[in-house]
Amino acid sequence: MHLIFTSSYDITTDMIVDRLGDRALRVNNDRPHDHEIQIHSEGFTISDPFGRQVSDQTLVTAILRKPAPKSNETEDQEVHAFREISAAHTGLLQLIAHKWPEKLPIHPSKIRDVVKFVQLDVAKPYFPTAPWSFTTHPERSGLKDDAVLKSIHGMPFSNADENGNAKFIYVQNVKPSELAEGWPWFLQERIDARFDVTVLYVDGKMFAQRLDRQTFQGLDWRKYIGTEMDAGWENVALPENLQQRIDAYMHKLGLRFGRLDFMAREEDLEAALFLEVNPNGQWAWMDMKMNNGIFDAMIEFLCQPASCETG
């Protein structure tokens, strides 16, 4: 049985569960009353109302997807239940990592440890990168007044509304000299490019797609997810040299999976500029029809126990 840690509104998990059927048990940290959970000194058992059950004896892989960062509930007891179940899920993942590390294709410590500062520092020998600064005093950041503002936590800063929408910090133009001092800012030199490029890395396999930046307004394509812009992404071949550098970079970080984002000034991707790698990024949107190999590669990766040496 495959145990999936996520939240109730993750479309990628919806598609995984649809493919795996009764071989998967999904636990949503924003629905703490949906499962019977027993974690004790001898092991654990989790079951749902439909008769599916997973235990330390039947676990094949534990899949970490996208647990909710906040509760949408406001009652004290519900907020407490959300926090307790979230802590229990995290604790169980750590227990599995400790006792059965081979059952974790995506190791939670790698997701936690490979933060943006580490990513950008390690990337320097492998890819071009733009100057950046995290600062509480932007005028002393060393960046010119042609910068972009980003978020390093990547999570919404508001609870989702009744339609599942929440507020995010999207990439936007800023002048460091006009930003307020004493507040946290992650800034990067603005790069004018023709294409956004994303590369899904799955245990050595790579799937690349690009998007012409003329198909949307502004700087951040994520604002238009779910619109006609989605159709603008096209599969693209990576130069062999770039594939080799990506593979070396991921090995250096100790990551078997991740989605890397680049910007490219021209169709030749050899000099693509590295932006970031998400160690547990969304990927289903790259293969919504499940016909270009990505979904098959991901299901195989997530559902095969790993070597203990990859933890």
Contact 85, 33 (CB under 8 A): no
Domain ranges for the chain, please list them: 2-104, 109-128+193-311, 131-190
Give the pLDDT of residue 309: 44
* pTM, rounded to two decimals: 0.86
Q: Which residues 6+ apart lie within 8 Å of 101 measured at CB? A: 107, 306, 308, 311
pLDDT in tens, 233-278: 999 999 999 999 999 999 999 999 999 999 999 999 999 999 999 9
Radius of gyration of the chain (CA): 20
CATH superfamily of the domain spanning 109-128+193-311: ATP-grasp fold, B domain (3.30.470.20)
Looking at residue 253, its amino acid is L
φ, ψ of residue 275 in degrees (nearest 5): -110, -55
Query: Picking from 30-39, 65-74, 75-84, which range would have the lowest pLDDT averaged per residue?
Result: 65-74
Q: Which own/partner contact pairs does 36-39 have at CB distance under 8 Å and 24+ positions apart?
A: 37/85, 37/88, 39/88, 39/91, 39/92, 39/95
Q: With bands split at pLDDT 50, 70 and 90, how would you rate the model's confidence at 218?
A: confident
pLDDT in tens, 14-37: 999 999 999 999 999 999 999 999
Q: DSSP string of 248-262?
A: HHHHHHT-SEEEEEE
Q: Measured in Å, how far apart are the chain's first and last C-alpha atoms?
A: 20
pLDDT in tens, 81-134: 999 999 999 999 999 999 999 999 988 888 777 888 999 999 999 999 999 999
Give the pLDDT of residue 90: 94
β-sheet bridge partners, residue 263 = 196, 273
Distance CA 206, CA 245 (A): 12
Q: What is the DSSP letter of 301?
A: H
